């Protein structure tokens, strides 16, 4: 999750909408009833799925646009829905989904295309997040985030730390222990232990809570929930411990630093594995994967939706139906490591016994499905993404810009109230 200013988000959205407006060189989905235009966010290699579909359907032309970050993609979609040229298909990150679910009039109710026939294929708590108050199904889940930590075995060995994944996981049963491990690494090497405090500590810890920014009645509790405050304090503790590289996730420095060994551990939900491969291809075999502190949790997961004014909704639905079927998600896992949201494949040997050679033959299927066991999902509301971003911003301000850790919580809460209007 990158940290971008509202001005940059608006500029990115305007540029995309302008490029995709009729007369500006854009174009819809070909007009043949088979082809379609697809907006995705970057850094997750959605192209691999598109290529797989094209291989099976060579007569289908898919115009894939990687808009930017997940936040920038959501902003571009918001602008398009207000009157611009919409895509036929759009990928929406889970934290950004609720605000769109509150606008069912802007999307095709997928029940009209056959969603009722496949709704039962998905984890119930995942598919329910895309259902509007009136029962409209607005999105089909592509994956879930299952959490773990990816670490460099060669860098751990140089620091005198264990390298076996079970022994490494035993180093940090808690987030406090993770930070202490980071101090040991820094003392031994003089180098950063992890990439940043905001996403590799706070964002993981806050996704392990029983209630997050809303309570069970969907009332805001972000400023009074002790679980959120504890996670935030852990983020500040990591930010001030001198153990981070101060490199925000998915920024250019973060990508380069990963390949150059500038940090030794990174929070790695299942979909992150492909980012590590892409950013650090020369480090194959030097990574392994260990349990996340706290053992369970979920970061991320996305949904495919069809805007109401899409020119080729049926073509987009055919793509969803095939690529997000249990078998389609299983095949995507074998290509990218993204964990299926279809539990019927969790016992399939392709997933259950999967090992990833890039990550020292780590049993990725077992590690990530185990991280979902016992998970009690919390409500994600329309302002969850904005609230989370302000908490991330405040921790990053302390870590990278000399912000005062003593006032960081109050600063974040004040900024949240300004951002969401109350």
Sequence ranges of the domains in the chain: 6-145+300-345, 149-297+366-420
CATH topology agreement for domains 6-145+300-345 and 149-297+366-420: yes
**pLDDT on residue 337:** 81
Strands 149-152 and 140-141: unpaired
CA dihedral for 46, 371, 155, 200, sign (positive or negative): positive
Beta strands in 272-400 (DSSP E): 287-290, 302-305
**pLDDT on residue 31:** 60
Give the percent of the chain with pLDDT over 90: 78
> Mean pLDDT across the chain, nearest whole number?
90
Q: Structure tokens of 399?
A: 């870590």
Average pLDDT, stretch 203-207? 95
CB atoms within 10 A of CB 395: 31
- Please tell me the distance from the alpha carbon of residue 63 to that of residue 39, in angstroms, as a whole number: 8
Q: Which CATH architecture has domain 149-297+366-420?
A: 3-Layer(aba) Sandwich (3.40)
**pLDDT on residue 141:** 97
| pLDDT tops 70 at residue 17 | no
Q: What's the pTM value of the predicted model, to 2 decimals?
A: 0.84
Q: Are 91 and 46 spatial neighbours (Cβ–Cβ below 8 Å)? A: yes
Residue 389 confidence class, pLDDT cut points 50, 70, 90:
very high
CATH of domain 6-145+300-345: 3.40.190.10
| pLDDT tops 80 at residue 28 | no
Taking the alpha carbons at both ends of the chain, their separation in whole angstroms is 25
| pLDDT tops 50 at residue 350 | yes
Most trustworthy range by pLDDT among 208-217, 333-342, 409-418: 409-418
| pLDDT tops 80 at residue 136 | yes
DSSP 4: -
User: 277-291, 331-345, 348-362: which has the minimum mean pLDDT?
Assistant: 331-345
**pLDDT on residue 4:** 35
| pLDDT tops 90 at residue 376 | no
159, HSE (Cβ side, Cα atoms, 13 Å) = 26
**pLDDT on residue 2:** 35
Give the percent of the chain with pLDDT over 70: 92
Q: Structure tokens of 414?
A: 């004040």
Q: Environment class of residue 23 by beta-carbon count within 10 Å: exposed (0-12), middle (13-18) or buried (19+)?
A: exposed
**pLDDT on residue 184:** 98
**pLDDT on residue 25:** 30
| pLDDT tops 90 at residue 134 | yes
Higher pLDDT, 375 or 312: 312
Average pLDDT, stretch 129-142? 96
Lookup result for tokens 């935030």 = 232
Q: Are 283 and 259 spatial neighbours (Cβ–Cβ below 8 Å)? A: yes
Average pLDDT, stretch 274-303? 92
302, HSE (Cβ side, Cα atoms, 13 Å) = 25
Q: Are 159 and 264 spatial neighbours (Cβ–Cβ below 8 Å)? A: yes
What's the chain's length in residues? 422
- Please tell me the distance from the alpha carbon of residue 89 to that of residue 109, in angstroms, as a whole number: 13
């Amino acid at each position: 999750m990158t940290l971008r200013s509202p001005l940059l988000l608006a500029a990115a959205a305007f540029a995309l909408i302008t490029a995709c407006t009729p007369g500006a060189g854009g174009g819809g989905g070909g007009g043949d009833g088979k082809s379609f235009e697809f907006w995705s966010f970057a850094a997750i290699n959605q192209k691999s799925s598109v290529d797989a579909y094209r291989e099976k359907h060579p007569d289908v032309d898919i115009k894939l646009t990687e808009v930017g970050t997940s936040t920038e993609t959501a902003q571009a979609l918001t602008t398009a829905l207000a009157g611009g040229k919409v895509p036929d298909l759009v990928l929406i990150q889970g934290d950004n989904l609720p605000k769109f679910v509150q606008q069912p009039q802007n999307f095709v109710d997928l029940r009209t295309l056959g969603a009722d026939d496949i709704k039962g294929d998905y984890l119930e708590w995942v598919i329910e997040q895309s259902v509007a108050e009136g029962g409209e199904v607005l999105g089909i889940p592509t994956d879930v985030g299952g959490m773990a930590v990816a670490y460099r075995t060669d860098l751990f060995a140089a620091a005198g730390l264990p390298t076996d994944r079970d022994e490494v996981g035993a180093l940090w049963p808690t987030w406090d222990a993770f930070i202490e491990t980071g101090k040991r690494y820094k003392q031994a090497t003089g180098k950063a232990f992890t990439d940043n405090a905001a996403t590799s500590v706070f964002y993981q810890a806050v996704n392990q809570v029983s209630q997050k920014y809303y309570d069970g009645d969907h009332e805001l509790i972000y400023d009074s929930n002790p679980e959120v405050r504890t996670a935030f304090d852990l983020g500040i503790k990591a930010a001030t411990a001198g153990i981070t590289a101060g490199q925000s996730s998915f920024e250019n420095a973060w990508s380069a630093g990963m390949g150059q060994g500038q940090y030794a551990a990174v929070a790695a939900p299942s979909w992150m594995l492909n980012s590590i491969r892409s950013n650090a291809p020369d480090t194959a075999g030097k990574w392994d994967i260990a349990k996340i502190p706290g053992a369970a949790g979920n970061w991320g997961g996305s949904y495919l939706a069809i805007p109401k004014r899409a020119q080729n909704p049926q073509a987009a639905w055919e793509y969803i139906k095939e690529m997000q079927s249990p078998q389609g998600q299983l095949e995507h896992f074998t290509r990218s490591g993204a964990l299926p949201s279809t539990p019927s494949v969790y016992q399939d040997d392709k997933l259950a016994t999967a090992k990833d050679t890039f990550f020292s033959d780590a049993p990725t299927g077992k590690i990530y499905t185990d991280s979902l066991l016992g998970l009690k999902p919390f409500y994600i509301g329309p302002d969850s993404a904005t609230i989370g971003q302000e908490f991330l911003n405040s921790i990053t301000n302390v870590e990278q810009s000399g912000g005062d850790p003593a006032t960081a919580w109050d600063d974040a809460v004040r900024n949240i109230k300004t951002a969401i209007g109350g």
